[in-house]
Amino acid sequence: MTFGKNLKKARKNKGFTQKELAEIVGIKRSTIAGYESKDQEPSYKVLKKISDALDCSIDSLLAHDYDNYIISETKISKEILNNQELKTFFNEMKKMDSNNISFYRRLIKFIESEK
């Protein structure tokens, strides 16, 4: 699936017209139409505004399989939200930089291998 098809699905899922999304993002409706039907691609800055407006990740807009990506993303979110330990762990991890996250991931793998 292309970015344009993903964008159209995400926009419709959110209930926006092309014009409404364009107004929120600060671009022309014809630009949104070009993204959806003419294989045009936005700059990163515009892509970020689109993902914010549609309340979805940039990854989901760029995914090869949008529907499965959204299902997977939603499933992970629900798992975290419904498990207090995971939610606490996730909130702590959000505060860390990638080096610390990588360190703790390796540490967990090491501990698991020693059981």
Q: The domain spanning residue 60 has which CATH number?
A: 1.10.260.40
Q: Which two tokens stand for residue 79?
A: 């798992």
| Same-domain status, 63 and 30 | yes
Shared domain for 92 and 41, answered yes or no, is no
| Nearest CA-CA partner of 86 in 95, 99, 77 | 77
C-beta of residue 4 within 8 angstroms of C-beta of residue 35? yes
| Whether residue 107 sits in one domain with residue 63 | no
User: Is the same domain home to 49 and 9?
Assistant: yes
- The pLDDT value recorded for residue 18 is 97
Per-residue confidence in pLDDT tens, the chain, 115 aa: 589 999 999 999 899 999 999 999 999 999 999 999 988 999 999 999 999 999 888 988 988 877 666 666 667 777 787 888 888 888 888 888 888 888 988 998 899 888 7
pLDDT of residue 19: 97
Are 35 and 91 in the same domain?
no
Domain that holds residue 102: 83-113
Per-residue pLDDT, 56: 87
CA–CA separation, 74 vs 110, rounded Å?
29
**Domain-located, residue 17:** yes
If asked whether residues 26 and 62 sit together in one domain, one would say yes
Same domain, 39 and 91: no
Q: Look up the pTM and report it.
A: 0.60
Q: How many domains does the chain have?
A: 2
Residue at 78 is within a domain: no
Burial class (CB in 10 A: 0-12, 13-18, 19+), 10: buried
* 76: in domain: no
Q: Both 56 and 96 in a single domain?
A: no
